[in-house]
């Protein structure tokens, strides 16, 4: 999916005696959005922007080690070792030693002679790396100016972390002209370095520079930026955004609780799973966070769970919490929003007038064994298009509002409005502000995103969503043993009943499955789970269990223990030989007979 | 050649009685072959060899011994002397003499169908030999006889063909009857007509000519090409008519061009030969018309077939060669037909050879001459190797009829494959391989013709090998022919010619040819002659010219030596120059040509400079335009000499500068560069033009001149430099911008133009790297006041080194301004280039101590670059002033880096103790340090110790730090948690009014007795 931006110049931080000016260059292709203000305290802003940068560059996917050099060395060394093993051949060994002794100074000499070259090459590569650092960013951050706050949003490279820095206007003491709206801003790695120089003793102004729009008409050359973003990235972004609108479990934590979790993670390195955090929540009791696999309990004595239902929620991808470390000294409180086990989670850190929201997807790696969050993008309630447009138009007028207020304004029911707004969030045109509990208008891209096309990663996910919506799913059995969870159930859809079962490992990854459908019989799990398995998993996660009275159809052919036909030994089938092949053979024989003699 | 060892073995068993002979033969020094013969005792033995290529004696003996052992094991036994005598070829009946054989043939023919031999073959043999005595029998046979083995018309065909060879006027009525009889087959009538024209001579040919279609009948003054085109058109439209007309045309002309008396005859023969070479009447197409086309093709092949017979009968070697070559290379027609013709051609040659006809050599040489190296095909391999000319059957028969390395691929096959393990790239055997060597020996002229021709390499190889044995003939060859062969033939033939020439007395003709031959021995032969006759060179200056332009370096050196020894008079020098230049002009454009020319040119410039100067201007122009660069350079050198003594016309200078040879252009540039600076100072545009020229040699050549002008006349230099700088902002030829920058850096260094800041910044910001470099060069000469410090800082971070260097110069010049601008100074230190950073560090150190204020140090420390931070810390220590400590503490405490935080923590104890204001300001820093996750242990220790001591020092301080302690005491880090709790306990004990979330409870003391111990 290609995003196109046009910038007049580059964002920069300029410094002078006693003042710093942050000037962000907006995208000229989008409706004019601008802002001017001076920060009352630059330090929280600096730390929050740094955390936002950490989100942008975050990539915690497993990177296999480059072993090519080692393998090359080993191939070379193998010969030497082999001879070394056969030491009984003393002569050879001595010769090798002599040659090695001769070779060592030569190699050392070569290394010395080539050192400047290698150093220069390394410097050059470093230069290229630094120079093209912008290429590492997927999509420039989005900046939105609203009547009550300005906020920055970004999404990580590994398609798993969402960051949002909101600065209410209390954080500014001099507010200049502004125009509400959303735009992308030019962002570079150099900018991060400049942010680090912000100080409280310098007056810091923040501009989303509107001058670019006037310059644009003067016909000056602009910088065109085209970014090709994978669909999975956009899907991840929208899924995490959509998740914010769902009903969640809220936990208020002390900043030092997060500090303690990070401390445990920094001090320990897990070699095996599960790699999850278990939030043990008991109403009226302090929250306990269990860090697996060591089962270290982090007690949060000053964080009392205010919910009314005891529960335990597991989340994965916990090392992404290190992004919050820089915020901890300045944090006043951390509010955690948990959707459920294996579901996205959100951490809203309050920094005075600033607030930082870190959204984490269910797992760091969005592969099929762990994902299947298509239901996050499911429509909550069918809403007609006219109503949806009305709701959106009204939201555009007020920029932010709660569902109840909008329902009151429009004379519609609140669930209808909430469902409409959920649809707009899924389309990337609005967000839900967890901190304030309001919907905000925010156009992620200049052109509306094809939300319907982005919802599913595969046709099977689409079919699974249809099963959940139109069919029935019965959960017959959920058993947990040795960290593994086995779920068995039946799926009734289009008049047929299938029996399916799946096994999730300690990290809630799908490791085994079984189903009576054709797709599974043909492919097993090689091409990902079938639609019935996906539906079963989603139903279990969402607590759906319908009543199905009929029993499943017998399996047509058991893939593992299918009865084999008795095969009698037969002669090999006679091969059809064409006339020309026959002629060739005859010729060959004739030639052999003639010349062989 | 001698026999080293020989064995004769015999085998007798039942009816089998055979012999096997083998011998080792020395064919050359150290080269041996193992030959064998085998066959029925007292019968003719078949020859063969076990060593296709000569081998060493040991190897030959090994092969020989192995073969003897093999045969002995198989039952052969050595033959006794009597047996040898009985088995030797000498006991074989001698071949009957030709006359006796002819007599026998006539007698046999006379028996008619009573003969035991096939009648048609007898007729053919009689015809081949042209036995006139056979005519009555032939006529008798023609009148009425039959042969059971062949069809009647075929036998008649043989008889008519034989009559054509041995008939007389007596046969004319019978032949006319056949020709006139429309019921007779076409081929028979054709042969009849041919026989009539052969017997009837010019008169009958005229009659035949009269029968030819009017449009194909040649008339004096007619154009050959038009007739051939007309014949082709006719072949397309009416093949039958065309076929008849063309055959009639052929028989109406003599069988040899030399015998043609009239122009019509020559034209008629030319038309037929042309058609035989190129005629393509129809193309084979698929589809509905295919049948019709095949019919046309059949007619066309019928014509070729008739012409082929006619050529054989008339002994027309030229037409035979043309047709045979065409059948060998023709892609159209059925393969069987073509293969038949190919085999027939070889058979014809074999029969001619076997009857020892002198026509064999004519036919063979005509065919051999028609193949060139371009006819070679890719060498193939498979179950056998196939050499480049393997597909040409008749040619292979001529060249390799007795070869140990090639053999016919099989009966009815028309290709030749490698035999006895020979591979195509291996050297050929030394002995002769051709068929009928005796016939060739009788026609050495034909061999010579082949040798000096442009024929294919195998043909040349065969001819030269056969010629080497013709010592008598070679001694008779005229000098002119020898010289021609020496200078123009292939290398193999040149060797033969030189061997013939070296035994003769040297003369100018042979010496010239020998020098042109490129043979080392020939060169030595000529040099020896010249050394022995010192006056020869003055008599024949051309010889000297040949020597100094020889391809051989040795001869050139010798020629140079001779030339040095000669005192060349003016006339001789002129003659030498003209001869040499004539030779040079005829040189082909080869890689070795330049070397030859250089050598000759330097010699001429040394010994005949005056004669060179006197050359006409047209000659010099011809030299300049020559394709060989060395020749053109000689012309340029001559012009350069003239330019130094006078002036050159513009057209000559243009010719130099526009030459396609770089070396000539560079001489042109030297001519320009020789212009005195005093003259060039008035032509700055010309200097700019030269510097921007797309001609690389001109640019390079005038570089010195430009530098000289700039040195002597700085004003002119500045003007040129200014225009060159401007030129960098426009598109220039490849290499020009780099040249301009180089000029600005070196030759024009002292007169760089003054430009304003906007102009220089536009250069620095240009896309062209050369323009940026030029901008950098100009920067150094500018006043720093024209730039803001921010701009200088940015320039110091530029990618181009020259720009950075310019920025350094500006910074040095703007030192006073930097002194009061700590932020700019810090940003200068924060440059991303190591060299700029190193400069900035030195620059900062160059300031006086009092000029490096805390703000400067703090701004440098604020950098996120570790190197710059370290530099800042060093400065902090070096320029530390006690009174600035609080400022340092407060400002550096906001730094996000752990290093600086550690630095700050180290200053706390000495400079912040007891200072409540400072403590309050530093609290965020403490929180930051204490909140670091699992790092900064030392800084944490220091902060905790400091906080604890401060908290216990005063209630105000305790109140300030209590919230921090309370917040951080939640940590899981045991050691820190302990310190924090201890600090809170201390506060609680010392200042109970300060709220901390801890209270001390009285500890209950238990006695030992109560615990039961």
The answer, for B924 touching chain A at a CB cutoff of 8 Å, is: yes
Cα B421 from Cα A371, distance rounded (Å): 71
Give the pLDDT confidence score for residue B630 in this predicted structure.
Answer: 82
Both A350 and A235 in one domain: the answer is yes
Residue A272 pLDDT greater than 80, yes or no = yes
DSSP state of B148: T
Both A356 and A236 in one domain: the answer is yes
A257 falls within a domain: yes
| Segment B32-54 mean pLDDT | 77
Give the pLDDT confidence score for residue B133 in this predicted structure.
Answer: 87
| Segment A432-439 mean pLDDT | 90
Cα A474 from Cα A547, distance rounded (Å): 6
| Segment B208-236 mean pLDDT | 85
| Segment B291-299 mean pLDDT | 68
Q: B122-162: per-residue pLDDT in tens?
A: 898 989 888 888 888 888 888 876 666 678 888 889 999 99
Residue B93 pLDDT greater than 50, yes or no = no
Chain A positions in Cβ-Cβ contact with residue B896 (cut-off 8 Å): 46-47, 50, 196, 326
Cα B970 from Cα B980, distance rounded (Å): 9
Residue B266 pLDDT greater than 50, yes or no = yes
Both A235 and A362 in one domain: the answer is yes
Cα B610 from Cα B601, distance rounded (Å): 13
Chain A positions in Cβ-Cβ contact with residue B968 (cut-off 8 Å): 256
Q: In terms of Cα–Cα distance, which of A396, A351, A439 is closest to A51?
A: A351
Residue A214 pLDDT greater than 50, yes or no = no
Asked if the interface predicted TM-score (ipTM) of this complex is over 0.85, the answer is no
Is pLDDT larger for residue B642 or for residue A380? B642
Both A243 and A290 in one domain: the answer is yes
> Could A262 and B894 be called an inter-chain contact, meaning their C-beta atoms sit closer than 8 Å?
no
Give the closest-approach CA distance of A19 to chain B in angstroms.
10
Domain boundary among A80, A100, A133: A133
Q: Which of B412, B801, B823 to mutate to test the interface with A (most CBs of A within 10 A)?
A: B823
Both A501 and A523 in one domain: the answer is yes
Helix, strand, or coil (residue B933): coil
Pairing of strands A311-316, A333-338: unpaired
Give the pLDDT confidence score for residue B680 in this predicted structure.
Answer: 79
Give the pLDDT confidence score for residue A135 in this predicted structure.
Answer: 57
Domain boundary among A366, A391, A409: A366
- How confident is the prediction for chain A on average, in pLDDT? 83
Instruction: Identify whether the C-beta of residue A440 lies closer than 8 Å to the C-beta of residue A419.
Output: no
CA distances (Å), origin B220, targets B217, B250, B251, B262, B268: 10, 17, 18, 9, 11
Cα A289 from Cα A277, distance rounded (Å): 6
Q: What percent of chain B has pLDDT over 70?
A: 94
Residue A407 pLDDT greater than 80, yes or no = yes
Lowest mean pLDDT among A313-327, A470-484, B269-283: B269-283
Domain boundary among A309, A333, A366: A366
Residue A307 tokens read as: 């919910």
Residue B860 tokens read as: 């440098």
Give the pLDDT confidence score for residue B549 in this predicted structure.
Answer: 86
Chain A positions in Cβ-Cβ contact with residue B931 (cut-off 8 Å): 255, 259, 325, 328-329
Pairing of strands A276-281, A345-351: unpaired
Residue B927 pLDDT greater than 90, yes or no = yes
Task: Report how many helices (DSSP H) and strands (DSSP E) chain B contains, helices first.
Answer: 55, 9
Q: B637-695: per-residue pLDDT in tens?
A: 888 777 777 666 666 777 777 777 877 877 777 777 777 788 778 878 888 888 888 87
Q: A556-582: per-residue pLDDT in tens?
A: 544 444 444 444 445 555 556 678 888
Q: Is B397 exposed, middle or buried (0-12, 13-18, 19+ CB in 10 A)?
A: buried
Question: What CATH number did the domain enclosing A431 receive?
Answer: 1.10.10.10
Residue A196 pLDDT greater than 70, yes or no = yes
List the domain range (segments joined by +) for residue A435: 379-455
Both A251 and A333 in one domain: the answer is yes
A475 falls within a domain: yes
Give the pLDDT confidence score for residue A218 in this predicted structure.
Answer: 37
Both A399 and A514 in one domain: the answer is no
| Segment B359-374 mean pLDDT | 92
> Could B933 and A329 be called an inter-chain contact, meaning their C-beta atoms sit closer than 8 Å?
no
The radius of gyration of chain B's CA atoms, rounded to the nearest angstrom, is 53
CA distances (Å), origin A143, targets A6, A44, A210, A444, B499: 15, 18, 13, 9, 97
Helix, strand, or coil (residue B145): coil
Residue A217 pLDDT greater than 60, yes or no = no
| Segment B984-992 mean pLDDT | 89
Cα A306 from Cα B93, distance rounded (Å): 133
Handedness of CA B713, B717, B720, B722 (dihedral sign): negative
Residue A335 pLDDT greater than 90, yes or no = yes
- How confident is the prediction for chain B on average, in pLDDT? 84
The answer, for B281 touching chain A at a CB cutoff of 8 Å, is: no
Give the pLDDT confidence score for residue A566 in this predicted structure.
Answer: 44
Instruction: Count the Cβ atoms, other than its own, within 10 Å of residue B645.
Output: 7
Both A518 and A396 in one domain: the answer is no
Cα B265 from Cα A297, distance rounded (Å): 121
Residue B1011 pLDDT greater than 70, yes or no = no
Residue A543 pLDDT greater than 90, yes or no = no
Give the closest-approach CA distance of A110 to chain B in angstroms.
26
Q: A238-260: per-residue pLDDT in tens?
A: 888 888 887 789 999 999 999 99
Question: What CATH number did the domain enclosing A237 receive?
Answer: 3.10.150.10
Cα B280 from Cα B239, distance rounded (Å): 11
Q: Write the residue in B822, B891, B968 that is nearest to A199 by C-beta.
A: B891
Q: Which of B891, B894, B898 to mutate to test the interface with A (most CBs of A within 10 A)?
A: B894
Chain B positions in Cβ-Cβ contact with residue A197 (cut-off 8 Å): 862-864
Q: A475-520: per-residue pLDDT in tens?
A: 888 898 877 889 999 999 888 888 999 888 777 777 788 998 888 8
Residue A367 pLDDT greater than 80, yes or no = no
Instruction: Identify whether the C-beta of residue A519 lies closer than 8 Å to the C-beta of residue A530.
Output: yes
A258 falls within a domain: yes
Give the pLDDT confidence score for residue B279 in this predicted structure.
Answer: 64
Question: What CATH number did the domain enclosing A512 receive?
Answer: 3.10.450
A548 falls within a domain: no
Residue B520 tokens read as: 């080392």
Residue B534 pLDDT greater than 80, yes or no = no
Cα B313 from Cα A309, distance rounded (Å): 122
- List Cβ neighbours of B674 (8 Å cut-off, separation of 6 or more): B643, B644
Residue B324 tokens read as: 């045979």
Instruction: Identify whether the C-beta of residue A498 lies closer than 8 Å to the C-beta of residue A517.
Output: yes
Instruction: Identify whether the C-beta of residue A428 lies closer than 8 Å to the C-beta of residue A399.
Output: no
Both A348 and A469 in one domain: the answer is no
A521 falls within a domain: yes
Residue A297 pLDDT greater than 70, yes or no = yes
Cα B21 from Cα B79, distance rounded (Å): 10
Cα A227 from Cα A234, distance rounded (Å): 12
Lowest mean pLDDT among A365-374, B190-199, B370-379: A365-374
Both A429 and A485 in one domain: the answer is no
Both A239 and A358 in one domain: the answer is yes
> Could B827 and A329 be called an inter-chain contact, meaning their C-beta atoms sit closer than 8 Å?
no
Q: B764-796: per-residue pLDDT in tens?
A: 888 888 888 888 888 877 888 888 888 899 889
Q: In terms of Cα–Cα distance, which of B685, B652, B687 is closest to B667?
A: B652
A436 falls within a domain: yes
Q: B424-481: per-residue pLDDT in tens?
A: 888 888 888 999 999 999 899 999 999 999 899 999 999 999 998 888 899 888 889 9
Give the closest-approach CA distance of B998 to chain A in angstroms.
14
The answer, for B893 touching chain A at a CB cutoff of 8 Å, is: no
A261 falls within a domain: yes
**B580 membership: H or E segment, kind and range:** helix B570-585
CA distances (Å), origin A467, targets A29, A461, A512, A533, B255: 42, 10, 21, 11, 99
Cα A98 from Cα B433, distance rounded (Å): 60
Give the pLDDT confidence score for residue B180 in this predicted structure.
Answer: 87
Q: Write the residue in B823, B967, B971 that is nearest to A15 by C-beta.
A: B823
> Could B970 and A257 be called an inter-chain contact, meaning their C-beta atoms sit closer than 8 Å?
yes
Instruction: Count the Cβ atoms, other than its own, within 10 Å of residue B455.
Output: 23
A104 falls within a domain: yes
| Segment B497-518 mean pLDDT | 88
Q: What percent of chain A has pLDDT over 90?
A: 25
Give the pLDDT confidence score for residue A63 in this predicted structure.
Answer: 79
Chain A positions in Cβ-Cβ contact with residue B823 (cut-off 8 Å): 15-17
What is the pTM (predicted TM-score) of this model?
0.57
- List Cβ neighbours of B514 (8 Å cut-off, separation of 6 or more): B486, B498, B501, B522, B523, B525, B526
Instruction: Identify whether the C-beta of residue A26 lies closer than 8 Å to the C-beta of residue A183.
Output: yes
Cα A557 from Cα B905, distance rounded (Å): 74
Both A412 and A467 in one domain: the answer is no
The number of CA neighbours under 13 Å toward the Cβ of B879 is 23
Instruction: Identify whether the C-beta of residue A151 lies closer than 8 Å to the C-beta of residue A169.
Output: no
Domains identified in chain A, total number? 4
| Segment A200-206 mean pLDDT | 89
Is pLDDT larger for residue A597 or for residue B140? B140
């Amino acid at each position: 999916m290609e995003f196109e931006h046009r910038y007049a110049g580059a964002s920069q931080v300029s410094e002078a005696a006693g003042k710093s000016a942050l000037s962000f260059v907006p995208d000229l292709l989008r409706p004019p959005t601008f802002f001017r203000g001076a920060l009352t305290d630059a330090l929280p802003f600096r730390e929050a922007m740094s955390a936002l940068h950490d989100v942008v560059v975050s990539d915690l996917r497993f990177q296999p080690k480059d072993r090519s050099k080692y393998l090359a060395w080993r191939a070379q060394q193998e010969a030497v070792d082999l001879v070394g093993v056969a030491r009984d051949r003393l002569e050879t060994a001595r010769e090798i030693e002599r040659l090695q002794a001769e070779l060592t100074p030569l190699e050392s000499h070569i290394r010395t002679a080539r050192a400047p070259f290698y150093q220069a090459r390394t410097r050059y590569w470093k230069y290229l790396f630094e120079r093209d650092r912008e290429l590492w960013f997927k999509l420039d951050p989005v900046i939105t100016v609203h009547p009550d706050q300005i906020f920055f949003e970004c999404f990580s490279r590994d398609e798993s972390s969402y960051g949002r820095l909101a600065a209410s206007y209390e954080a500014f003491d001099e507010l200049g002209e502004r125009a509400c709206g959303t735009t992308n801003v030019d962002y570079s790695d150099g900018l991060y370095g400049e942010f680090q120089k912000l100080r409280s003793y310098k007056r810091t102004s923040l501009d989303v520079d509107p001058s670019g729009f006037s310059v644009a008409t003067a016909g000056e050359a602009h910088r065109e930026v085209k970014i090709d973003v994978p669909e999975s990235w956009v899907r991840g972004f929208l899924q995490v955004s959509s998740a914010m609108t769902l009903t969640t479990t809220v936990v208020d934590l002390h900043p030092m609780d997060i500090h303690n979790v990070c401390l445990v993670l920094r001090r320990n390195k897990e070699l095996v799973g599960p790699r999850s955090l278990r939030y043990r929540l008991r109403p009226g009791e302090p929250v306990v966070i269990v860090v697996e696999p060591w089962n270290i309990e982090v007690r949060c004595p000053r964080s009392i769970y205010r919910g009314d239902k005891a529960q335990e929620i597991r989340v994965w991808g916990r090392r992404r919490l290190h992004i919050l470390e820089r915020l901890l000294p300045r944090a006043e409180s951390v509010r955690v929003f948990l959707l459920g086990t294996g579901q996205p989670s959100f951490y809203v850190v309050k920094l005075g007038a600033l607030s930082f929201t870190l959204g984490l997807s269910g797992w760091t790696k969005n592969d099929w064994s762990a994902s299947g969050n298509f239901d996050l993008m499911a429509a909550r309630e069918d809403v007609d298009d006219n109503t949806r447009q009305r709701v959106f138009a009204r939201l555009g007028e007020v920029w932010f509002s709660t569902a109840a207020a909008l329902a009151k304004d429009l004379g519609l029911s609140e669930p209808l409005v909430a469902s409409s707004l959920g649809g707009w969030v899924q389309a990337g045109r609005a967000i839900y502000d967890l901190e304030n509990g309001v919907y905000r208008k925010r156009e992620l891209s200049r052109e509306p995103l094809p939300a319907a096309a982005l919802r599913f990663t595969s046709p099977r996910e689409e079919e699974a969503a249809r099963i959940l919506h139109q069919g029935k799913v019965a959960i017959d059995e959920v058993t947990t043993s040795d960290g593994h969870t086995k779920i068995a159930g039946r799926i009734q859809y289009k008049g047929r009943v299938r029996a399916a079962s799946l096994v999730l490992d300690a990290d809630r990854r799908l490791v085994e499955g079984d189903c009576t459908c054709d797709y599974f019989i043909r492919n097993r799990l090689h091409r990902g789970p079938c639609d019935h398995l996906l539906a079963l998993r989603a139903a279990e996660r969402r607590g759906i269990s319908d009543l199905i009275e009929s029993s499943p159809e017998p399996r047509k052919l058991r893939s593992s223990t299918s009865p084999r036909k008795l095969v009698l030994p037969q002669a090999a089938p006679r091969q059809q030989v064409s006339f020309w092949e026959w002629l060739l053979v005859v010729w060959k024989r004739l030639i052999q007979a003639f010349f062989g003699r | 050649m001698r026999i080293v060892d020989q064995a004769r073995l015999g085998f007798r068993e039942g009816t089998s009685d055979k012999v096997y002979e083998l011998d080792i033969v020395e064919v050359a020094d150290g080269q041996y072959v193992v030959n064998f013969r085998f066959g029925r005792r007292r019968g003719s033995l078949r020859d063969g060899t076990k060593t296709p290529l000569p081998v060493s004696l040991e190897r030959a003996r090994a092969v020989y011994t192995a073969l003897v052992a093999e045969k002995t094991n198989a039952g052969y036994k050595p033959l006794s002397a009597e047996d040898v005598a009985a088995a030797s070829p000498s006991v074989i009946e001698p071949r009957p003499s030709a006359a006796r054989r002819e007599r026998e043939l006539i007698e046999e023919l006379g028996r008619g169908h009573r003969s035991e031999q096939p009648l048609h073959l007898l007729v053919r043999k009689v015809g081949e030999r042209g036995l006139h005595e056979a005519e009555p029998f032939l006529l008798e046979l023609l009148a009425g006889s039959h042969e059971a083995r062949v069809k009647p018309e075929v036998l008649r065909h043989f008889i008519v063909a034989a009559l054509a060879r041995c008939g007389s006027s007596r046969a004319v009525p019978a032949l006319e009857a056949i020709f006139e009889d429309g019921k007779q087959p076409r081929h028979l009538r054709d042969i009849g007509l041919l026989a009539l024209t052969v017997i009837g001579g010019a008169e009958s040919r005229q009659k035949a000519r009269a029968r030819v279609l009017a449009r194909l009948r040649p008339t004096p003054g007619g154009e050959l090409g038009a007739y051939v085109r007309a014949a082709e058109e006719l072949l397309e439209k009416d093949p039958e008519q065309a076929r008849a007309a063309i055959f009639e045309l052929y028989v109406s002309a003599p069988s040899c061009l030399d015998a043609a008396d009239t122009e019509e005859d020559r034209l008629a023969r030319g038309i037929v030969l042309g058609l035989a070479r190129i005629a393509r009447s129809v193309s084979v197409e698929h589809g509905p018309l295919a049948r019709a086309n095949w019919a046309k093709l059949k007619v066309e092949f019928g014509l070729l077939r008739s012409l082929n017979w006619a050529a054989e009968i008339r002994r027309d070697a030229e037409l035979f060669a043309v047709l045979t070559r065409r059948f060998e290379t023709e892609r159209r027609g059925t393969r069987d037909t073509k293969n038949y013709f190919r085999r027939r051609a070889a058979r014809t040659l074999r029969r001619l050879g076997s009857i020892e006809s002198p026509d064999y050599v004519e036919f063979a040489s005509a065919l051999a001459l028609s193949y060139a190296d371009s006819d070679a095909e890719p060498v193939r391999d498979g179950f056998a190797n196939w050499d480049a000319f393997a597909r040409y059957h008749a040619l292979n028969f001529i060249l390799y009829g007795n070869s140990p390395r090639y053999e016919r691929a099989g009966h009815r096959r028309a290709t030749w494959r490698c035999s006895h393990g020979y591979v195509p790239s291996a050297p050929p055997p030394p002995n002769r391989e051709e068929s009928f060597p005796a016939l060739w020996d009788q026609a050495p002229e034909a061999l010579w013709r082949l040798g000096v021709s442009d024929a294919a390499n195998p043909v040349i190889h065969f001819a030269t090998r056969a010629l080497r044995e013709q010592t008598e003939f070679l001694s008779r060859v005229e000098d002119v022919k020898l010289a021609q062969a020496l200078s123009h033939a292939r290398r193999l033939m040149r060797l033969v010619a030189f061997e013939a020439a070296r035994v003769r007395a040297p003369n100018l003709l042979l010496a010239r040819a020998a020098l042109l031959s490129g043979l080392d021995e020939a060169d030595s032969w000529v040099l020896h002659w010249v050394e022995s006759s010192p006056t020869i060179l003055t008599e024949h200056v051309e010889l000297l010219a040949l020597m100094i332009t020889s391809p051989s370096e040795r001869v050139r050196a010798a020629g140079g030596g001779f030339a040095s020894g000669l005192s060349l008079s003016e006339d001789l020098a002129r003659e030498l120059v003209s001869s040499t230049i004539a030779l040079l002009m005829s040189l082909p454009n080869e890689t070795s040509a330049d070397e030859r020319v250089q050598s000759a040119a330097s010699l001429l410039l040394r010994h005949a400079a005056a004669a060179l100067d006197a050359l006409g201007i047209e000659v010099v122009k011809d030299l300049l335009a020559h394709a060989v660069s060395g020749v053109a350079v000689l012309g340029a050198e001559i012009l350069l000499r003239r330019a130094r003594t006078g002036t050159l016309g513009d057209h000559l200078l243009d010719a130099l500068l526009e030459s396609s040879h770089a070396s000539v252009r560079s001489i042109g540039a030297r001519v320009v560069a020789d212009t005195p600076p005093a003259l060039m100072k008035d032509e700055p545009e010309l200097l700019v033009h030269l510097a921007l020229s797309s001609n690389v040699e001109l640019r390079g050549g005038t570089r010195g001149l430009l530098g000289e002008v700039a040195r002597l006349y700085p004003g002119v230099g500045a003007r040129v430099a200014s225009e060159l700088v401007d030129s960098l902002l426009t598109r220039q030829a490849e290499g020009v911008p780099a040249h301009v920058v180089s000029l600005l850096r070196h030759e024009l260094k002292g007169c760089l133009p003054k430009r304003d800041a906007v102009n220089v910044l536009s250069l620095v910001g240009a896309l062209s790297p050369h323009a940026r470099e030029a901008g950098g060069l100009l920067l150094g000469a500018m006043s720093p006041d024209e730039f803001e410090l921010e701009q200088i800082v940015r320039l110091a971070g530029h990618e181009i080194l020259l720009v950075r260097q310019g920025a350094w110069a500006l910074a040095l010049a703007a030192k006073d301004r930097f002194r009061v601008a700590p932020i700019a100074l810090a940003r200068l230190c924060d440059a991303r280039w190591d060299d700029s950073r190193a400069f900035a560090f030195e620059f900062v150190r160059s300031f006086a101590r009092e000029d490096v204020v805390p703000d400067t140090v703090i701004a440098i420390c604020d950098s996120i670059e570790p190197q710059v931070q370290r530099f800042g810390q060093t400065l902090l220590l070096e320029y530390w002033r006690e009174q600035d400590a609080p400022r340092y503490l407060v400002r550096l405490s906001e730094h996000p880096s752990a290093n600086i935080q550690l630095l700050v923590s180290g200053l706390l104890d000495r400079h912040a103790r007891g200072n409540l204001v400072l403590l309050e300001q530093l609290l965020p820093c403490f929180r930051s340090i204490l909140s670091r996750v699992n790092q900064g242990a030392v800084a944490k220790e220091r902060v905790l110790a400091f906080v604890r001591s401060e908290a216990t020092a005063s209630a105000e301080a305790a109140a300030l730090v209590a919230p921090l302690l309370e917040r951080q005491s939640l940590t899981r880090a045991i050691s820190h948690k302990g310190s924090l709790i201890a600090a809170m306990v201390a506060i609680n004990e010392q200042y109970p009014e300060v709220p901390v979330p801890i209270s001390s409870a009285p500890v209950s003391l238990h006695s030992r007795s109560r615990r039961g111990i």
